[in-house]
Amino acid sequence: DGGITQSPKYLFRKEGQNVTLSCEQNLNHDAMYWYRQDPGQGLRLIYYSQIVNDFQKGDIAEGYSVSREKKESFPLTVTSAQKNPTAFYLCASSPLIGPYGYTFGSGTRLTVV
């Protein structure tokens, strides 16, 4: 079945370390997105990409970096510059053409220890 796979499901990071969250999709979607969700809050856009080797900052890009070397993959790196990285991270994808909704992954819960 087609879908989005995020890994790992849980991730623990020591302060000062960079960590990379994986997001892979087999839906042949052109656009991919990363969101951050804090407890009891909505989703905030970190980065998005609509084509390989191109990506744009969202509302809260500081302290994060991404790459899009393949259409299927859009990894997110949480750098040491992100001062409050503990959160639930969600990856999504969508076609560019047509009124189709987003497909989301199951998320990665990152905790700084």
Give yes or no for residue 106 binding another protein (CB under 8 A). yes
Minimum gap (Å) between residue 67 Cβ and another protein? 16
As measured in angstroms, the least distance from the Cβ of 10 to another protein is: 11
Q: What is the DSSP letter of 66?
A: E
Lay out the site mask for another protein across 5-34 (x = CB under 8 A, - = otherwise): -x-----------------------xx-x-
Q: Does 56 bind another protein (CB under 8 A)?
A: yes
Q: Is 53 exposed, middle or buried (0-12, 13-18, 19+ CB in 10 A)?
A: exposed
Compute the C-alpha angle 110/104/19, nearest 5°.
25
Minimum CB distance to another protein, residue 78 (Å): 18
Question: Which value, to the nearest 10 degrees, does the dihedral of the CA atoms of residues 26, 31, 34, 40 take?
Answer: -100
- 2 touches another protein (CB under 8 A): no
